[in-house]
Amino acid sequence: MSSCLNKILCRYFAKKTPTIDNNYQNNVQIYCNGEPKNCAIYMIFDKLGFLKVPVDLRPEQTAKAKSLIGN
Ligand code: SF4
């Protein structure tokens, strides 16, 4: 368990995403305050940088993140 270092820049954490996400509270527990390295947004932050994070990407969309990264 750890707190994500990207919280200050993360649109999802700040609820500045274009769509309503009913899993927000769960995702914050699971990813932001749990295991950030399993988060799709974190993966993009880490490998491609903040500017490459799609505005509508959610933490559980790891397959999409891996596809964008090229894994
Ligand atoms: S775990 Fe993911 S959603 Fe949460 S603050 Fe970090 S990058 Fe954003």
Q: What confidence score (pLDDT) does residue 21 get? A: 87
pTM flag (> 0.85): yes
Ligand 1 atom closest to residue 11's alpha carbon, by position in its atom list: 8
Check residue 20 and give its pLDDT: 83
How many angstroms separate the alpha carbon of residue 52 from the centre of ligand 1? 14
- Res 71: pLDDT: 64
**Mind listing the pLDDT tens digit of every residue in the chain (71 residues)?**
789 999 999 999 999 988 888 999 999 999 999 999 999 999 999 999 999 999 999 999 999 999 999 96
* Residue 5 CA, closest ligand 1 atom number: 6
DSSP-derived secondary structure for the chain: ----TTTTT-TTTTT-SSS--TTHHHHIIIIITT-GGG-HHHHHHHHT-GGGS-TT--TT-HHHHHHHHT-
